[in-house]
Amino acid sequence: MKKKVVLAYSGGLDTSCCVRWLQDKGFEVVCFSANLGSEFSPEELKKKAKQSGISKIYVMDLQKEFAQEYILRALKANAVYESKYALSTALGRPLIAKYLVDIAHREKADYVAHGCSGKGNDQVRIDTTVKILDPKLKIIAPLRVWKLTSRESEIAYAKEKKIPVSATKEKIYSIDRNIWGISIEGGMMEDLNNAPDEAAYVLTKSMEKTPAKAGFVEIEFYKGAPVKINAKKKGLLEIIEILNKIGGKHCIGRSDLIEDRTVGIKSREIYEAPAAWILIRAHQELESVVLDKDTLSFKEIVALKYAQLAYQGLWFSRLKKSLDAFVELTQERVTGSIKMKLFKGSISAASRKAKYPLYKKELATYGEKDQFNRQDAKGFIEIFSLPYREK
C-alpha cells in the first residue's frame, strides 16, 4: 500500500510543487485547504488539485472557528507581539495544524506535510502543534530538504514537471492574509534604509488619501467579546470585516516591525490590521474603566507572555491554556460600549460606557459633588511613605 500524506495546500507555487515532489517520493497525497479569510476559491482549488493528480482534497471554511476560538482569546488577552504585531499569521497556524492532524487521523495517514520555508516561524508553529497534538505523526517539510531554494528554481521545476500554477509572474512581496490582518515581507523592504513601499499595502489607504473628517465607530462588548457595532448585533467575523473596511479608509493599523523570529533571525515585516487594532484599543479602554489596578497591571504582563506563546506556536501548551483561564475570569465584568474615533491613522476613545464601572465621578471630580475624604489622605500618606523614608 502507498504511504499517505496530508498536505496543507494553498494552490500556490510552493505547495503545488510540494504535491508533485511528494508524489515523486511515492506518496499518495491528500490535500487540505483552509479559508481563514484570504482570497479563496474552492472551485479553483478543487480544479487544480484534480489536475495535479491529488487523490482527495478537503476544502474548509474555518473563518468562524478562527474568529471565535483564536482571535477572540487573543483579543481578550490584548495580545500584541513586540508592540506592533497583532499576530494574524501566528494565530492561524495552530488552527491549520489542528486540522492537519484531524484529517490525518480520518485518512489513516502516518504523515503530514506543509509548504513552510525552512527559516520562518510558521514551520515552528505547525510542527510544534502537530507534535503536541499527535507526536506519532511524521512531518514532511519539502522546503527544508529539496534543492529548490529560489522562486525561479521552483518555476523551472513546475514547468519541467508540467505542474499547473497560475501566477508565475514576478511576485515582489511575500504576503500572508487572513481576517485578523495581512503580513507583507521581502523585496526592497529587506533593506532597512527603505521606507515601506506604499504600493505594497492591501487593506489601508495611504495617509495622504484619508478623509479630512474623522470616522466614528461604536463597539459593544459583552464579557470581553465584541457583540454589536454601531448598536447593531453582529457576529465577530462580521464585526472584523466591517472594521477592516472602516479602519482601512482612515489608514488605521499599519505597522513596520523589525521582529525577532523564533529561529533566531531578525527580520522585517509590514503589517496591516485595522480591525485588530481598533478592537484591541477599544477593549483596553473598556478594561481601564472596569478592572482594578492590580488586575490591569498583571494583565499587561500576561498579554506580553500570551503574545510570545502565540508567536512561537505554543498555542496548545499548558501555560497558554492556563493563561486563557485567567484572562477569561478577568472578563466577567468587561461589558459596555466604547466609541472610537478614527482619524488619519490614529485611534482614540470618544466615549466610554461600562455596565460595572470602577470609575466613580463623585470620587474623581474636582467639582461641587466631591465625596472623596481629603482628611483621610494625610494619614494614608503617612503610612504609605513609611517603607521609603531613609532619614
CB 126 within 8 A of CB 140: no
> Among the options 73, 122, 125, 333, which is catalytic?
122
- Burial (CB count <10 Å: 0-12, 13-18, 19+), residue 334: buried
Options 53-61, 156-164, 177-185, 332-340: segment touching ligand ARG (CB under 6 A): 177-185
R_g over Cα of the chain: 24
Q: Which candidate in 10, 14, 127, 183 is catalytic?
A: 14
Q: What are the start-end ranges of the H helices in 178-317?
A: 236-249, 274-290, 293-311
Instruction: Mark residues 267-286: x for contact with ligand ARG by CB under 6 A, - for none.
Output: --x-----------------
Strand 225-229 and strand 215-222: the pairing is antiparallel
Residue 221: partners with Cβ closer than 8 Å, 6 or more residues away: 227, 282, 283, 286, 334, 335, 336, 337, 338
3-state secondary structure 4-66: EEEEECCCCHHHHHHHHHHHHCCEEEEEEEEECCCCCCHHHHHHHHHHCCCCEEEEEECHHHH
38 is a site residue for ligand ARG (CB under 6 A):
no
Q: Which of 93, 125, 254, 281 is catalytic?
A: 93
Determine whether 122 is an active site residue: yes
Using rule CB under 6 A, residue 252 touches ligand ARG: no
Nearest to 308 by CA among 125, 175, 131, 127: 125
How many chain residues are in contact with ligand ARG, going by CB under 6 A?
A: 10
- Is residue 123 near ligand ARG by the rule CB under 6 A? no
Note if 370 is an active site residue: no
CB of 200 to ligand ARG, least distance (A): 10
Q: Does 121 bind ligand ARG (CB under 6 A)?
A: yes
Cα–Cα distance measured from residue 44 to residue 367, given in angstroms and rounded to the nearest whole number: 66
14 given a catalytic annotation: yes
Per-residue binder mask for ligand ARG (CB under 6 A), 66-85, x = binder = --------------------
Binding to ligand ARG by CB under 6 A, coded x per residue (else -) over 186-205, reads: --------------------
Using CB under 6 A, pick the residue from 18, 90, 104, 289 that binds ligand ARG: 90
Q: Does 176 bind ligand ARG (CB under 6 A)?
A: yes
Q: Annotated catalytic, 191?
A: no
Active site residues: 14, 93, 122, 174
